[in-house]
Amino acid sequence: MYDTGALQQRITERLSELGIPQLPGNLYDPIRYMLQIGGKRIRPLLTLMAADLFSVADIEEAVPAALAIELFHNFSLVHDDIMDNAPLRRGHQTVHEKWNPNIAILSGDNLLIMAYGQLANCPADNLPAILKTFNTMAAEVCEGQQSDMDFERTDIVSIDEYLNMIRLKTSVLLGAALKMGALIAGADQTNAQSIYSFGVDVGIAFQLQDDILDVYGDPEQFGKQRGGDILANKKTYLLVKAMEMADVATRTELRAWLADTDHPTDKIDRITAIYNNLGVRSEVESAKQLHIERAYTALDTIPVQSNRKTPLRQLAQALLNRRQ
């Protein structure tokens, strides 16, 4: 098996060798910029780790699919940042801020096309299945992003709707990254589906933890302002659950604080107090735990020597125990 660090190294190298054209600069400079400002490359790593788990003959066969996943991820960040009007990404100016929204639309489009360009280099016998897995995921990510935007203008969102939104927007990408690696290694449909489920449930648990850290994380370790989601009136598991559990008076108070834009510190403190009174933290911790257990159950069903699964377990643990 490959060492996780060696796989990461391979991804970094291959991303720097994409041969992105120089001209037109306004199309390709933003693409180079996005790929250079980093990110942890977790998603393409998952593709290579899954291929390795299922004993791929040559790990190189899985590299184009891994690169496609990373390019897709960057496409979605560039376009989401326009839609969310976000000034910063990975501590740097977003593309639409550094250039302009039109350039961000078009360079995002080209990142998506470059992702498919990598898919065309996947082993030909797997190509139809790889393409279908990728396309399904890609459409679902768009559906998740649209639901997230729709939720901004919706007062009541159910827990099921919220979970489905985060599954589509962020988790199916992890699932598809793993499944593509598995398919290239020759895994059968059942095993490919199991590793997909592992990724999706890890992704949901990860997002739920993100919701917790926004309110209960140590801002110094988390690296973000505490209560950022609260100030943005972002639908999180905490808010959705609080709206569900609150009595009429508390719900009225919650709505009043959501409408408030003049007292940011009080808003964070009061909404946090409501969360504490209702006990929503333990609710979201339970939900997170449920998805972690589902993830490991799915991994357990895969008929591969247990020690081959160790790197994936370790990666999942690192993701799910992070404080930042």
Binding site for its own copies (CB under 8 A): 21, 23-24, 26-27, 79, 82-83, 101-103, 105-106, 108-110, 112-114, 116-117, 119-120, 124, 127-128, 131-132, 134-135, 138-139, 142-143, 145-147, 149-150
Q: In angstroms, give the least distance from the CB of 261 to its own copies.
A: 21
Q: Is 44 left (phi over 0), alpha (psi -120 to 50) or beta?
A: alpha
Radius of gyration of the chain (CA): 20
**Sequence-distant (≥ 6) Cβ neighbours of residue 263 within 8 angstroms:** none
Cβ distance to its own copies smaller for residue 89 or 288: 89
Nearest residue (CB) to its own copies, 112 versus 242: 112
CB of 75 to its own copies, least distance (A): 8
Q: Which is nearer to its own copies, 2 or 99 (CB)?
A: 99
Is-contact 159 245, C-beta < 8 A?
no
Distance (Å, whole) CA 290 – CA 5? 29
User: Could you give the CA distance from residue 323 to residue 213 in angstroms, rounded to a whole number?
Assistant: 7
Q: How far is the CB of 90 from its own copies (least distance, A)?
A: 21
Q: What SS3 state is found at 225? A: coil
Task: For its own copies, give the closer residue by CB, 129 or 212.
Answer: 129
**Closest separation between CB of residue 22 and its own copies, Å?**
11
For the bound state, the minimum distance from the C-beta of residue 217 to its own copies, rounded and expressed in Å, comes to 29
Does residue 200 come out as left (phi exceeding 0), alpha (psi in the -120 to 50 range) or beta?
Answer: alpha
**93 - beta bridge partners?**
88
Rounded CA-CA distance 20/13 in Å is 14
Cβ nearer to its own copies, comparing 90 with 132: 132
The CB-of-20 to its own copies minimum distance in angstroms stands at 10
> First CA to last CA across the chain, in angstroms?
29
Whichever of 142 and 315 has its CB closer to its own copies, that residue is 142
Whole-angstrom CA distances from 37 to 17, 74, 307 are 16, 11, 34
- Residue nearer to its own copies on the CB measure, 49 or 111: 111
Query: Minimum distance from CB of 196 to its own copies (Å)?
Result: 17
